[in-house]
Each structure stands twice: as structure tokens, then as C-alpha cells.
């Protein structure tokens, strides 16, 4: 797996990965290079055996301060379509990874930054976190999923108020809205908290986690009755897995399960 990138870093720490957007002088803004590198690493991580990943931003100020405004300022309609498609494909890749990804938001998560965080499984944040979809202030609209995912996470009316006003959303409000699951005093504690959660998750069946993730993401776009059909299919299928046999047997034998992910 290529881990030699200009604008991102990927570190493998035992069972877990840390993906860091590394363009702090531009507050980790998403340009074509960053998005292409994210696409490459996320595509190769689809077949990785890690059990979870933390996605964060380098520096003290920002997770990601949005799509790169300087780069967007000269884009034609055709180029914008390609840019939007690339950004959206990155968000879909986060959702397609067969392990959980925690967005560790350590500062500004604006525009594309908020959109990238929302495509992770859930968001943990430090006290410095600030969210928002300020695109309308630039005469734009969110293009990497913000019009869709924000409404699904916090409800359409709250999402409309935030997107139409382009205002910042501070940590306390982001928590009230359910955008942020847990908060921490600073970046160090944020990363430690994210790893602690991944540690707990990794004691469970990797197969069951991967299937829960895909069923929940797929179900998000379906009616409840269609979602139940997807759930039932996967619920029954998992009864043929080694992890199911091991998990149930370990419970009966009063011992810890030794899952293989098969």
C-alpha cells in the first residue's frame, strides 16, 4: 500500500490507522491533490485488515477549513462537476470502508470539512471544534454531501437553518444537535478518547461490525420496511459465520471470544 503522499499521512498503529490531513498552512483545505490522495489511500484501505481508523487534521487550528476556495475561484462548470464528483467519491469511500472511522475534529470543520467528518461513522471533537456549511456566503452550495448528510444527521429544518445562514456552529450546539457524539478538552485527549473507543470496538466481531456499518449506511437511504429486508438478509447470513459460532460459544463457555473476522 502506498503511504507516500504530499498532503496526507497514514500511520498504522497496531490494529488501527490514523489518517491525517496534512496541509496546516492552508488549514487543511481540500484541493484536487488532497482529494486525489484521499481517494487513493481510502481505496487501498478497503482491503486492509485494520480494525478501525481515526481521521484528523494536522495543526492546532483546523480539522479541515473547507474546499480550497483559491482553487475553486477559477473553476468552470465542467471542472466543478469533476471536483464535486471527486469530493463525493471520497465521502462514499469513507462509508464503504469495512471498519469504523472516527472523525476527530480538532478545530474548524467548515464546508467540505464538515462534509468529510459527516461521512465518517461518528464525530468526536475537541473544545476547539467549530462546524458550519458557509458555502452560501461564497455564492456556492455544499457539494460533497452537505445538503444530504447534514439533514439526515440533525434533521432537515436544523440543516436548512445552518446551510441558509452559513453560520458557525460551536461545539456545545453541535453536541445538542447530535452532530458530535463526544467532546474532549484538547487534541491529545480527543485522540486518546477515539483510540479508547476503537479499542472497545475491536474486542467485538470485525465481521459483525463491518456488516452493521454497511446495513446502517444502506438503510439510511431506504424506507424502514426496505431497510428491514436488508437487515434480515444480513442478520440471517451472519449465522453461517465463524465469528457468530465463536461469539455465542464463548458466551456459553463463560470466556472471552476470540474473533477472526470470518
Positions marked active-site? 115, 135
Choose the binding region for ligand COA from 34-42, 134-142, 226-234, 235-243 (rule: CB under 6 A).
Answer: 134-142
Q: Which of 21, 35, 65, 154 binds ligand COA (CB under 6 A)?
A: 65
Closest approach of Cβ 166 to ligand COA, in Å? 8
Our finding on whether 101 is near ligand COA (CB under 6 A) is: no
Residue 74 engages ligand COA in binding (rule: CB under 6 A): no
Q: What grid cell was written down for 3?
A: 503511504
**Closest CB 51 distance from ligand COA, rounded Å:** 33
Among 8, 21, 27, 50, binds ligand COA (CB under 6 A): 27
User: 163 by DSSP, 3-state: which?
Assistant: helix
Among 8, 21, 29, 104, which residue interacts with ligand COA (rule: CB under 6 A)? 29
In the three-class reduction of DSSP (H, G, I as helix; E, B as strand; rest coil), residue 185 is classed as coil
Q: Residues for the chain: how many in total?
A: 262
Interaction between residue 139 and ligand COA (CB under 6 A) = no
* Strand-pair partners of 124: 104, 182
Interatomic CA distance for residues 170 and 250, integer angstroms? 44
For residue 129, state whether it binds ligand COA (rule: CB under 6 A): no
**Nearer to ligand COA by C-beta: 23 or 213?**
23
- The separation between the first and the last C-alpha atoms of the chain, rounded to the nearest angstrom, is 23
Residue 52: which H helix or E strand, with range?
strand 52-57
Say which residues have a Cβ less than 8 Å from residue 150's Cβ, sequence separation at least 6. Answer: 114, 118, 133, 142, 159, 162, 163, 179
| Contacting residues toward ligand COA, per CB under 6 A | 26-27, 29, 65-70, 108, 110-111, 134-135, 138, 140
Amino acid at each position: 500500500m502506498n503511504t507516500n503522499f504530499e498532503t496526507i499521512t497514514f500511520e498504522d498503529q497496531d490494529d488501527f490507522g490514523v489518517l491525517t490531513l496534512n496541509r496546516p498552512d492552508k488549514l487543511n483545505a481540500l484541493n484536487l491533490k488532497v482529494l486525489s490522495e484521499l481517494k487513493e489511500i481510502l481505496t487501498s484501505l478497503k482491503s486492509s485488515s485494520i480494525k478501525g481508523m481515526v481521521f484528523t487534521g494536522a495543526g492546532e487550528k483546523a480539522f479541515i477549513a473547507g474546499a480550497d476556495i483559491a482553487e475553486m475561484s477559477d473553476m468552470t462548470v465542467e471542472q466543478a462537476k469533476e471536483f464535486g464528483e471527486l469530493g463525493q467519491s471520497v465521502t462514499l469511500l469513507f462509508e464503504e470502508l469495512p471498519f469504523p472511522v472516527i472523525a476527530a475534529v480538532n478545530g474548524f470543520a467548515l464546508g467540505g470539512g464538515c462534509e468529510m467528518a459527516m461521512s465518517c461513522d461518528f464525530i468526536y471533537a475537541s473544545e476547539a471544534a467549530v462546524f458550519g456549511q458557509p458555502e452560501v456566503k461564497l455564492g456556492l452550495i455544499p457539494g460533497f454531501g452537505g445538503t444530504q448528510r447534514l439533514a439526515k444527521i440533525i434533521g432537515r429544518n436544523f440543516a436548512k437553518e445552518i446551510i441558509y445562514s452559513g453560520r458557525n456552529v460551536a461545539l456545545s450546539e453541535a453536541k445538542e444537535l447530535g452532530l458530535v457524539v463526544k467532546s474532549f478538552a484538547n487534541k491529545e485527549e480527543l485522540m486518546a478518547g477515539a483510540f479508547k473507543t476503537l479499542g472497545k470496538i475491536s474486542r467485538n466481531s470485525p465481521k459483525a461490525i463491518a456488516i452493521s456499518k454497511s446495513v446502517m449506511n444502506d438503510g439510511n437511504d431506504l424506507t424502514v420496511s426496505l431497510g428491514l429486508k436488508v437487515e434480515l438478509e444480513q442478520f440471517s447470513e451472519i449465522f453461517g459465520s465463524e465469528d457468530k459460532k465463536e461469539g455465542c460459544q464463548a458466551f456459553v463457555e463463560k470466556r472471552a471470544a476470540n474473533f477472526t473476522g470470518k
